[in-house]
């Protein structure tokens, strides 16, 4: 079935929902969860190097906390976990991992946005679903009222 399930996380409700689903699937399949946080370098390309260095350190620390939280939840669920913090554009880094053969499934969350909102904001999940060579589990988070 599955041996390694990639779970991109940023601590958001969307990624937390995906973590829940990935842990359930990993427990059933006796798989390892690979928690990934991507420091989105494309958002900060125009910053001066000194500012970027300080911000990068802060973002990497945030990433470490996010993936460690997933690893702790995996441990509580009796699931093996690995953690990765990487730099790049989120959908590109996720797809690189999916295409490398390192993982055989991806679990991601989404708001289920549509129309102009999706067009303006883009969707990392949508890009991964369209281009991933491995199955992608998409966990939808209900919109707040």
Q: pLDDT tens across 20-37, in order?
A: 999 999 999 999 999 999
Give me the percent of the chain exceeding a pLDDT of 90: 65
pLDDT at 140: 83
Count: domains in the chain: 1
Would you put residue 11 in left (φ > 0), alpha (ψ -120 to 50) or beta?
left
What local confidence, expressed as pLDDT, does residue 143 receive?
61
What is the rounded average pLDDT of the residues 77-94? 97
What's the mean pLDDT when you consider all of the chain?
A: 89
Kindly state the tokens that stand for 123: 């969707």
State the residue for tokens 């990765």: 84
Asked, for residue 20, whether it belongs to a domain, the answer is yes
The predicted pLDDT at position 78 comes to 98
pLDDT in tens, 92-145: 999 999 999 999 999 998 865 555 555 544 588 889 999 999 999 999 876 654
Domain range spanning residue 27? 4-140
Angle at CA of residue 38, ends 37 and 39, nearest 5°: 120
CATH at 14 = 3.40.50.620
Whether residue 104 lies inside any domain: the answer is yes
Say if CB 14 and CB 141 are below 8 A apart: yes
| DSSP label at residue 101 | T
Flag whether 145 is in a domain: no
Name the β-bridge partners of 130: none
pLDDT at 120: 44
Choice among 10-24, 47-61, 114-128 with the minimum mean pLDDT? 114-128
Is 9:67 a contact under the CB 8 Å cutoff? yes
């Amino acid at each position: 079935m599955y041996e390694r399930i990639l779970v991109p996380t940023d601590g958001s409700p969307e990624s937390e929902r995906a973590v829940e689903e990935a842990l359930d699937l990993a427990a059933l399949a006796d798989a390892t969860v690979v928690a990934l946080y991507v420091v989105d370098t494309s958002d900060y390309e125009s910053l001066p190097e000194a500012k970027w260095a300080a911000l990068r350190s802060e973002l990497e620390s945030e990433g470490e906390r996010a993936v460690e939280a997933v690893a702790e939840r995996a441990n509580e669920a009796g699931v093996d976990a690995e953690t990765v913090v990487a730099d790049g554009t989120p959908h590109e880094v996720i797809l690189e991992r999916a295409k490398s053969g390192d993982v055989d499934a991806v679990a991601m969350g989404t708001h289920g946005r549509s129309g102009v909102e999706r067009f303006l904001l883009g969707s990392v999940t949508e890009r991964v679903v369209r281009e991933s060579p491995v199955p992608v589990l998409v966990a939808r988070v209900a919109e707040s009222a």
